[in-house]
Amino acid sequence: MKSGETELPEYSSSDEDFVDPWHVASKSATGIDYDKLITKFGSQKIDDNLITKIENLTGKRAHHLLRRGVFFSMRDMHGILTLYEQKQPFYLYTGRGPSSEAMHLGHLIPFIFTKWLQETFDVPLVIQLTDDEKFIWNDITVEEANRYAHENAKDIIALGFDINKTFIFSDIEYISSCPEFYMNICKVQKLVTYSQVKGIFGFDVSDSIGKISFPAIQAAPSFSSSFPRLFKSKKDIPCLIPCAIDQDPYFRMTRDVAQKLGGVKPAVIHSTFVPALQGVQTKMSASDPNASIFLTDTDEEIRIKIKRYADSEGGINMTDEHKKRGSYLTDISYQYLTYLMTDDDKFTQIERDYACGVLAREQLQEILIKLLQKIIGKHRQNRALVTKEMVKQYMTPRNLECSIVT
Among 100, 130, 184, 281, binds ligand TYM (CB under 6 A): 130
Secondary structure E strands in 52-149:
71-75, 91-96, 125-129
Separation CA 217–CA 184 (nearest Å): 9
Tell the burial category of 195 from Cβ atoms under 10 Å away from its Cβ (0-12, 13-18, 19+).
exposed
For residue 184, give every residue at least 6 positions away whose Cβ sits within 8 Å of its Cβ, in sequence order, or none. Answer: 219, 220, 223, 225, 226, 261, 263
Taking CB under 6 A as the criterion, the residue among 109, 153, 240, 402 binding ligand TYM is 109
Binding test (CB under 6 A) with ligand TYM, winner from 32, 197, 243, 291: 243
Q: What part of residues 170-199 is at the interface with ligand TYM (CB under 6 A)?
A: none
| Residue 211 engages ligand TYM in binding (rule: CB under 6 A) | no
Among 31, 89, 110, 215, interactor with ligand TYM by CB under 6 A: 110
In the list 46, 77, 230, 244, the residue contacting ligand TYM (rule: CB under 6 A) is: 244
Stretch near ligand TYM under the rule CB under 6 A, chosen from 43-51, 125-133, 159-167, 257-265: 125-133
Whole-Å CA distances, 100 to 69, 285, 286, 402: 29, 11, 8, 33
Q: If DSSP states are collapsed to H, E and C, what string results for 187-200? A: HHHHHCCHHHHHHH
Q: Which helix (H) or strand (E) holds 84?
A: helix 77-85
Instruction: Output 19 or 369, the one with its CB closest to ligand TYM.
Output: 19
Question: Are the beta carbons of 50 and 256 closer than 8 angstroms?
Answer: no
Binding residue count for ligand TYM, defined by CB under 6 A: 23
Q: How far is the CB of 126 from ligand TYM (least distance, A)?
A: 9
Please report how close the Cβ of residue 114 comes to ligand TYM at its closest, in angstroms. 9
What is the distance between the alpha carbons of residues 238 and 45, in angstroms, rounded to a whole number? 21
CB of 30 to ligand TYM, least distance (A): 17
Nearer to ligand TYM, 26 or 130 (CB): 130
Among 17, 76, 131, 133, binds ligand TYM (CB under 6 A): 133
Which of 100, 118, 128, 146 touches ligand TYM (CB under 6 A)?
128
Phi then psi for residue 60, to 5 deg, are -120, 150
Q: Which residue number is nearest to ligand TYM in terms of Cβ?
A: 97
At its nearest, how many Å lie between ligand TYM and the CB of residue 262?
21
283 binding ligand TYM? (CB under 6 A): yes
Amino acid letter for position 19: V
Question: DSSP alpha helices (H): ranges in 267-343?
Answer: 299-311, 318-325, 332-340
User: Rule CB under 6 A: which of 76-95 touch ligand TYM?
Assistant: 93-95
Alpha-helix runs per DSSP H in 159-298: 171-175, 179-191, 194-201, 209-213, 215-219, 248-258
**CB within 8 A of 116, min separation 6: which ones?**
63, 65
Q: Could you say whether residue 247 binds ligand TYM (CB under 6 A)?
A: yes
For residue 234, the SS3 value is coil
Closest distance to ligand TYM from the beta carbon of 254 (Å)? 10
Contacting ligand TYM within 215-234 (CB under 6 A): 218
- The number of angstroms, rounded, from the C-alpha of 200 to the middle of its chain's C-alpha atoms is 19
Rounded to whole angstroms, the Cα distance separating 93 from 269 reads 11
Per CB under 6 A, which of residues 258..277 are in contact with ligand TYM? 271, 273-274
Residues 295-334 that bind ligand TYM (CB under 6 A): none
Q: CB nearer to ligand TYM: give 104 or 322.
A: 104
Please give the residue ranges that form the binding site for ligand TYM (CB under 6 A). Answer: 93-97, 106-107, 109-110, 128, 130, 133, 218, 241, 243-244, 246-247, 271, 273-274, 283-284
